[in-house]
């Protein structure tokens, strides 16, 4: 087994969740790395869409922003931002929306708006961007986030984008037909919604991580599935491709 960081394991586990036939709405950062890793390994036919309007893009280096020139230069076509949100996202063309977040709760609702009171913020976060509508208009969503007590919270101060709602049943009540968060991929494990309650439940633990560690880094008392498997370790090829694109990216962006 090759050496790997927990962050690499997270990205690789996320990449594996994507299928060759997916049309994926990609957020910047970890989602972008995971989606491009999938494209460069097991899912060469995957379609990656960035909210800047770039459709079926194949960046050679990871973009720093959602609208780097690289995304347009390697895209099948580039449409306006209103068209992207109207015809492609709201139009129901996206199979998987890939989100990150600052804070998450047990039903995979996300906060990227504010810590503290909205009108008197302790920390003002960037806000929702595309997330509120990605969360309801994509066929399903995958979330990628490193665990930690300040990120995995019992109760969010603000819901920026809906997961399964505050009771786990809101999607049904609000007649949202998309599946919502079907996977939450962290640096320690993978959660999936419980079939009955929609509470995000640990189904797989990454090699080297423990139940105790997961519990310690979670602001609520997390549920484990009846059968928890071990996430297969990264393969040498997965690590090589990921490290290659990250090295190319670092060289390209400078610092």
Partner 1 sequence: MAKFLSLADAVAQMVHDGDTLAMEGFTHLIPFAAGHEIIRQKRRDLTLIRMTPDLIYDQMIGMGCAKKLVFSWGGNPGVGSTHRIRDAVENGWPCALAIEEHSHAAMANAYEAGAANLPFAMLRGYIGVDLPKVNDRIKSITCPYTGEKLATVPAIRPDVGIIHALRADREGNVLLEGITGCQKEVVLASKRTIVTVEEIVDNLGTTSPNSVVLPSWTIGAVVCVPGGAHPSYAHGYYKRDNSFYIAWDKLSRDRDGFLAWMDENVMKKGPDAFAVHAKGSAA
Which CB, 115 or 233, lies closer to partner 1?
115
Tell me which residues in 152-171 interact with partner 1 (CB under 8 A): 158-162, 165, 170-171
CB contact set of 69 (below 8 Å; sequence gap of 6+): none
- Work out the number of other CB atoms within 10 angstroms of the CB of residue 247: 11
Nearest to 202 by CA among 220, 229, 175: 229
Q: Is 69 in the site for partner 1 (CB under 8 A)?
A: yes
Which CB, 86 or 150, lies closer to partner 1?
86
Tell me which residues in 44-63 interact with partner 1 (CB under 8 A): 47, 51-56, 63
CB of 61: closest distance to partner 1 in angstroms?
10
Applying CB under 8 A, among 5, 60, 65, 210 the residue interacting with partner 1 is 65
Q: Which residue has the tokens 């999938």?
A: 38
Q: Which residue has the tokens 């423990």?
A: 210
Token representation of residue 55:
């459709």
Whether 170 sits among the annotated catalytic residues: the reply is: no
Q: Which residue has the tokens 């009171």?
A: 117
Tell me which residues in 175-194 interact with partner 1 (CB under 8 A): 176
Nearest to 72 by CA among 87, 88, 54, 85: 54
Tell me which residues in 101-130 interact with partner 1 (CB under 8 A): 109, 113, 118-119, 121, 123-130
Applying CB under 8 A, among 41, 137, 141, 231 the residue interacting with partner 1 is 137
Active-site position among 8, 51, 170, 238: 51
Number of shown-chain residues binding partner 1 (CB under 8 A): 71
CB contact set of 109 (below 8 Å; sequence gap of 6+): 156, 159, 161, 162, 163, 164, 165, 166
Q: Is 92 in the site for partner 1 (CB under 8 A)?
A: yes
3-state secondary structure of 23: strand
Tell me which residues in 25-44 interact with partner 1 (CB under 8 A): 28-29
Nearest to 38 by CA among 65, 70, 14: 14
Q: Is 255 in the site for partner 1 (CB under 8 A)?
A: yes
Could you give the residue numbers annotated as active site?
Answer: 51
């Amino acid at each position: 087994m090759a050496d790997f960081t927990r962050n690499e394991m997270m990205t690789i586990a996320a990449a594996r969740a994507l299928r060759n036939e997916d049309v994926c709405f990609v957020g910047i950062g970890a989602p972008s790395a995971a989606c491009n890793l999938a494209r460069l390994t097991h899912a060469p036919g995957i379609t990656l869409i960035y909210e800047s309007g770039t459709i079926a893009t194949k960046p050679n280096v990871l973009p720093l922003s959602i609208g780097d020139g690289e995304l347009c230069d390697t895209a099948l076509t580039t449409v306006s931002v209103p068209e992207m949100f109207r015809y492609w996202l709201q139009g129901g063309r996206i199979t998987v929306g890939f989100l990150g977040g600052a804070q998450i709760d047990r039903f995979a609702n996300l906060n990227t708006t504010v810590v503290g009171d909205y009108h008197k913020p302790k920390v003002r976060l960037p806000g929702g961007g595309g997330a509120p509508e990605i969360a309801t208009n994509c066929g399903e969503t995958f979330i990628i986030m490193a665990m930690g007590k300040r990120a995995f919270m019992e109760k969010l101060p603000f819901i920026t984008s809906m997961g399964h709602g505050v009771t786990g049943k809101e999607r049904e009540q609000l007649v949202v037909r998309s599946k919502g968060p079907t996977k939450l991929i962290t640096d320690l494990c993978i959660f999936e919604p419980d079939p009955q309650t929609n509470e995000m439940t640990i189904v797989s633990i990454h090699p080297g991580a423990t139940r105790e560690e997961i519990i310690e880094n979670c602001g609520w008392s997390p549920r484990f599935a009846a059968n928890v498997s071990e996430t297969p370790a990264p393969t040498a090829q997965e690590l090589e491709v990921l490290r290659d694109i990250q090295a190319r990216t670092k060289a390209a962006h400078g610092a």
